[in-house]
Amino acid sequence: MMSAARPPGHACETYVELKARLREISDLGSLQGLAGWDELTMMPSGEGAAEARGRALATLAGVIHAKSTDAELGALLRDAKPTEAKDVANVKRATEAYEKSTKVPSAMAKKQAELGSRGYQVWAKARAEDDFTSFAPVLKEWVALVREKCALVSPEKATYDASMDDYERGLTSARLSEIFTVVRNGVVPLIEEVYAKKTPTILAGKNNPLLGEFDVEKQAKLSERVAVALGFDMTKGRLDVSVHPFTGGCGPNDVRMTTRYKANDLAESLTGCIHETGHSLYEQGRCAEYAGQPVSEAHGMGVHESQSHLWERMVGLSEPFMHFLLSELKTEFPKDFADVTPEVLYAAFNCVKNPSVIRVESDEVTYPLHVILRTELEMGLLDGSIEVDQLPELWNEKMKKYLGVSISNNREGVLQDVHWSSGAFGYFPTYLIGAILACNIFNAAKRSIDSLEDKISRGEFAELREWLRVNVHERGSECDSADELMMLVTGKPLDAHEFVDYLRAKYVKLYDL
C-alpha cells in the first residue's frame, strides 16, 4: 500500500507500487474471465445457478471498479516516472483507462449496465418476433447515452471517434473512411464478377466435399489436432464447446477457447476453430515479463481480429494449407476424402456462396461490405444524420446497393447482430480492420520467412508463430494506434490497397475471371 509519509522523488518506488496495484486489478479481471467462460460452457442450466453467478459477477465488477477508480491509484499514476519505453507506455495505457473510468459518474455506469441487460432481452425478443419497433426505443436510449458519455470522456473528439476508441485505440472516422472507400471501390465490382461465374472453375459439376455427414466426435479430434499443430499450447489452455465460439479465460497461461460442430458442415467447425486458435495464440504469446500490466494486453479488437483472420484466412484458407489439411482429413474421414485433391479442397473452402444476408455466415469477399454498411449507419446515428426509425429502410437500401440482395424481414436485416443492444457503437469496424491487418501482416511475414508457403504446406507453423510472437504479440499495447504498430511490423501504415489486391488476385484465379 502507498505510505502517506513517503518522501517525494521516489518515482521508482512509486512505479513498483503502481505495478502491484495494476496487477491486482488484472488478477481480478482474470477471475472475471474465468467465471464468464464457465458461464458459457460448464455452468448448470438451472435458473438458480445463473442468478447466483450474475450476482457474484456484479459484486466482482464493483470491486474492480472501485480499485480502478481509487484516488490513490490516480496519485501513483501522476507520480510514477519510469524511463524505459515499455514502462512509459504501461503508465500511459493505465492512465487512459483510469481517466475513462473516473470520468463516468456512477449513475451513468449504473444506467449503462441496466440498459445493457434490458437491451439484450428486448433485442432478443424483437429479433425472434421480427419487430423493430419494440427495439427502437432502447436503441434511442443507447444513442443518447453513448453521446452523453463520449462528450464527458473525450470532449475533444467527435462522438464516433470517442466511441471507437474503446475498441481500437487511435482510429478516427477520417482514417476509417479513407480505408473503407478503398475497400468498397475494390470489392463491389469483384463481387459482381464472382456472382456472374457462380462456382469456382474446378468445382463445376462436382460435389462439395465439405458438405455431408461428419461424426462430431471425429470433428472434435480433428479440430484439436489442427489447433495443436498451429501451436495452441494445451498445457496453457483448453478447447471446449459453446453455442457461440469465443476466446477468453485467465490470461497467457490459461487461455480458454471454444468452438462448435455441425454434423453436416465440416468447414464451419474447422475454420471457426482455426479462427479462435489465432486469438488464443495472441493471448498465449503476450509478454510474460509484463504479465498483469496494461502494456502486455492485446493492442485492441482490430489487432486481435488480425491474428484470428491471419490464421483462419491467410493460412487456413490458403492453397498451401490444403496439402497439410488434406492428410489430416484423410486420417479422420478416410472414405470422404479418398479422391479429393488439394486443389478441389481449396476451391471448396473458398467458394463464395450466394450472397448471404447474415454477416457471420458471409464469405471473405462479401464480409467487408457487411461491416461497412453497419459502420456507415452507426456513424450516422451518433452524428445525428440518421434517426433510429430510419434504420430498417436504410439497412435494406444499402444491402441492395452493396450486395445486390433484398431483405425480406428485419430479423435477417437490421436486427441480426447483438452489438447495438449493448451500446457497442464503433465495434463493427474492427472486424474489417482486422481482416486488412491480417493481410498486411501475413505479407510482411512472407517477406521475412524463407519459403513460408512451402513450410505451411508441410504443416510447419512454428516459424510463423514465433515471428508473430516477437512482432505482434509481445508488443502488446505499446503503440498508440494500429497504424503505429504496423509501421513497426510491416514498415508502413495499414494498407487497404494490399487487401483489395489480395482478394482480387485470389478470386480471379479461383473463378477464372
Q: Which of 14, 308 has the CB closer to Zn ion?
A: 308
Least distance between Zn ion and beta carbon 70 (Å): 33
Return d(Cα 150, Cα 142) in angstroms, integer.
12
Say how many CA atoms lie within 13 Å of 50 toward its Cβ: 5
Interface region with Zn ion, contact rule CB under 5 A, candidates 86-94, 300-308, 409-417, 491-499:
300-308
Q: Which of 308, 481 has the CB closer to Zn ion?
A: 308
Q: Which residues are catalytic?
A: 276
Return d(Cα 420, Cα 142) in angstroms, integer.
8
- CA dist list (Å): 191 to 81, 299, 352, 368, 500: 53, 32, 9, 11, 12
Least distance between Zn ion and beta carbon 279 (Å): 6
Interface region with Zn ion, contact rule CB under 5 A, candidates 170-178, 179-187, 302-310, 321-329:
302-310
Residue 241, helix vs strand vs coil:
strand
For residue 434, with 0-12 CB atoms within 10 Å meaning exposed, 13-18 middle and 19 or more buried, which class applies? buried
For residue 499, the Cα-to-chain-centroid distance in whole angstroms is 18
Least distance between Zn ion and beta carbon 409 (Å): 27
Residue 75, helix vs strand vs coil:
helix
Return d(Cα 278, Cα 272) in angstroms, integer.
10
Q: Which of 308, 477 has the CB closer to Zn ion?
A: 308
Least distance between Zn ion and beta carbon 485 (Å): 18
Residue nearest to Zn ion (CB): 308
Return d(Cα 167, Cα 429) in angstroms, integer.
9
Residues 6+ apart with CB under 8 A from 369: 184, 187, 188, 191, 402, 403
CB 405 within 8 A of CB 419: no
- First CA to last CA distance, the chain: 67
Is residue 277 a contact residue for Zn ion (CB under 5 A)?
no
Interface region with Zn ion, contact rule CB under 5 A, candidates 197-205, 306-314, 326-334, 463-471:
306-314
**Binding Zn ion by CB under 5 A: which of 32, 69, 271, 308?**
308
- Looking only at residues 368 through 407 of this chain, which bind Zn ion when binding is defined by CB under 5 A? none
Query: Hunting for cell 514502462 — which residue is that?
Result: 87
Return d(Cα 92, Cα 101) in angstroms, integer.
14
Q: Which of 276, 478 has the CB closer to Zn ion?
A: 276
Interface region with Zn ion, contact rule CB under 5 A, candidates 160-168, 178-186, 307-315, 367-375:
307-315
Q: Which residues pair with 239 in a beta bridge?
A: 257
Least distance between Zn ion and beta carbon 305 (Å): 5
Least distance between Zn ion and beta carbon 236 (Å): 19
Interface region with Zn ion, contact rule CB under 5 A, candidates 46-54, 200-208, 304-312, 319-327:
304-312
- CA dist list (Å): 278 to 285, 303, 309, 485: 11, 11, 7, 18
Least distance between Zn ion and beta carbon 434 (Å): 7
Return d(Cα 403, Cα 406) in angstroms, integer.
9
Q: Which of 101, 242 has the CB closer to Zn ion?
A: 242
- Looking only at residues 162 through 181 of this chain, which bind Zn ion when binding is defined by CB under 5 A? none
Angle at 168 between CA 106 and CA 382, to 5 degrees: 65
Return d(Cα 157, Cα 358) in angstroms, integer.
32
Q: Which of 274, 399 has the CB closer to Zn ion?
A: 274
Least distance between Zn ion and beta carbon 258 (Å): 12
Interface region with Zn ion, contact rule CB under 5 A, candidates 138-146, 194-202, 303-311, 312-320:
303-311
Residue 114, helix vs strand vs coil:
helix
Q: Which three cell numbers stand for residue 82?
A: 519510469
Q: Which of 414, 435 has the CB closer to Zn ion?
A: 435
Q: Which of 223, 308 has the CB closer to Zn ion?
A: 308
For Zn ion, what does the binding mask look like between residues 80 and 109, x meaning CB under 5 A? ------------------------------
Q: Residue numbers of the site for Zn ion (CB under 5 A)?
A: 308
